[in-house]
Structure 1
Amino acid sequence: MQEKYGRNNGEGDPPRRGRPPNSDGRATRDHLLDAALRLFARQGYAATTVRQIATEVGVRDSAIYAHFAGKQAMYDALFAEAGPVSPELLDLDIDALTEAGPNRAVTELVERAFTAWSTYRACLFFELLVQHNVGSAGIDNLLAGIETTRDRLAEPFRQWQEAGQVRADLEPRQLVWELFAPIQVPRVLHLRGDASDSDVAAARSMVDDHLDFFLTTVLTSEGSE
């Protein structure tokens, strides 16, 4: 059987019963998210309860509420780390990005997105997102994340245009869309729950080709330095 990407050293494997492997808060939070994701993928979001998630990890229901307000908060946390591009996923520092210049900054942003999306948990969540979106609330979250990112990243592109580093005939918010929208295609094609190392490599190749095309098309000679 082909090895699943991201499962090296047991990552993504079901936790043992009883007490979580260690008592560190971050580790416990991750185990809860992993358990919630497995159940969401196995039986659907609506059919999954907080008690089932607790049982999957081997803790009391109350242990979940030390980390999350409830099931929706757990889904929201998974969405923030593995959903569409968002300020949280990209860890945006607008001033630092602007100072770095478009060539370096755009490359780094795409790398952050791909790194986040190619983990085992992100691949499994994306499959869940595609197949079992949580009604209109899920769609609203999807659109809100995309539009917030377009708003935030428009400013660096605007400043790069003023500095003569990016073509001035292109609308900044549209540039953000053109940067990130095409790299959703490799996710759909390759970064699903059963993604293998070769799938991730294929997605990486598509993303790299798009990045090269975007930089060549959008940057001026000054911005390419």
Structure 2
Amino acid sequence: MATSARRPGRPPNSDGAATKERLLDAALELFARQGYAATTVRQIGVAADVTDSAIYGHFAGKQAIYDALFAAAGPMSAQSPPIEVDALAATPPAEAIPRLVDEIWTQWCTPRARRFLRVMLQDGSGAAGVRGLTDSIEATRDLLRKPFERWQSAGLLRSDVPARQLVWELFAPLQVPRVLHLHANVKPTDLAAARKMVDDHVAFFLAAALVPERCGNASRRARDN
């Protein structure tokens, strides 16, 4: 009985996910130890015990591996978890904003994201460096500008400040507890201190940015429906 041929280097479905995770972990270890520029695809393969052909079955190259780490732990992590802009905008900001921050902060707290933070501060977005990091931040501001503009149009958020600036004012301060506390060997006390800073900031932002009466009415309508 003939068996179907498999493309060289592409792992079977049963172990493909595990191989990809090994590659990401091995790459992260090397990026953290010696930097993006000094790390090669061959070194990543050796560290993960994966052949070169198998690596290219998962990633186009070193930058693609870095991109996967960056997407899950980048400046605002707009890509992971993916943000459903329309669903976000349909929820009153008093509910949507804390939920969004919580999702992103939870992602930043994962072991891989905490380890990658040091790499990102050193190497930016990889080959593009700091400029690529800046471009990613601006792309996230553009993505999140849309629900903020809709909340402004509905009279739920103050409209005297541009939406992109409100996005910046929400997320930029979150980098402080992240950099101060979310290191690789974080302790529970560090996580608790960081989370308090996050919660205090979100509460302050909502107090400064919401239009109280309209937001209260919108929240009540959402609960009633």
- Seen in structure 2, the aligned counterparts of structure 1 residues 197 and 23 have a Cα distance that, compared at 3 Å, is farther
Cα distance in 2 between the residues matched to 1:46 and 1:159? 42
Deviation at 1:40, TM superposition (A): 1.1
Task: Please list, as runs of the form range in 1=range in 2, the aligned pairs for 1:119-138 lying within 5 A after superposition.
Answer: 119-133=110-124, 137-138=128-129
Q: Which residue of 1 aligns with 2:131?
A: 140
Matched, 1:97 2:56: no
The aligned amino acid for 1:184 is Q
Deviation at 1:160, TM superposition (A): 1.1
Deviation at 1:190, TM superposition (A): 0.6
- Seen in structure 2, the aligned counterparts of structure 1 residues 209 and 122 have a Cα distance that, compared at 3 Å, is same
Q: Deviations over 1:124-169 (max 9, x none)?
A: 1101122344677121221111111211221211211221211122
SS at match of 2:100: helix
- Seen in structure 2, the aligned counterparts of structure 1 residues 132 and 148 have a Cα distance that, compared at 3 Å, is closer
The aligned amino acid for 1:223 is C
The aligned amino acid for 2:98 is T
Deviation at 1:61, TM superposition (A): 1.5
Task: Please list, as runs of the form range in 1=range in 2, the aligned pairs for 1:20-31 lying within 5 A after superposition.
Answer: 23-31=14-22
Which structure is higher in RCO with an 8 Å CA cutoff and minimum separation 6?
1
Q: Percent identity?
A: 56
Q: Which residue of 1 aligns with 2:35?
A: 44
Q: Which residue of 2 aligns with 1:171?
A: 162
Cα distance in 1 between the residues matched to 2:147 and 2:102? 17
SS at match of 1:51: helix
**Is residue 123–residue 129 contact of structure 2 (8 Å, CA) maintained in 1?**
no
Q: Which residue of 2 aligns with 1:53?
A: 44
Q: Which residue of 1 aligns with 2:189?
A: 198
- Seen in structure 2, the aligned counterparts of structure 1 residues 136 and 43 have a Cα distance that, compared at 3 Å, is closer
The aligned amino acid for 1:177 is W
The aligned amino acid for 2:24 is L
Deviation at 1:43, TM superposition (A): 2.0
Cα distance in 1 between the residues matched to 2:169 and 2:70? 22
Cα distance in 2 between the residues matched to 1:135 and 1:63? 22
Deviation at 1:110, TM superposition (A): 0.5
Unpaired runs of 5+ in structure 1?
1-19
Q: Which residue of 1 aligns with 2:210?
A: 219
Q: Which residue of 1 aligns with 2:74?
A: 83
Greater CA deviation, 43-52 or 203-212? 43-52
Greater CA deviation, 176-185 or 95-104? 95-104
The aligned amino acid for 1:57 is A
**Is residue 126–residue 192 contact of structure 1 (8 Å, CA) maintained in 2?**
yes
When normalised by structure 1's length, the TM-score is: 0.84
**Is residue 124–residue 131 contact of structure 2 (8 Å, CA) maintained in 1?**
no
Q: Which residue of 2 aligns with 1:155?
A: 146
When normalised by structure 2's length, the TM-score is: 0.84
Deviation at 1:111, TM superposition (A): 0.9
Deviation at 1:196, TM superposition (A): 2.2
Deviation at 1:213, TM superposition (A): 0.5
Cα distance in 2 between the residues matched to 1:149 and 1:105? 16
Aligned residues: 205
Larger Rg: 2
Q: Deviations over 1:25-73 (max 9, x none)?
A: 2222111101100011112222222122111111211111110011111
Cα distance in 2 between the residues matched to 1:136 and 1:65? 18
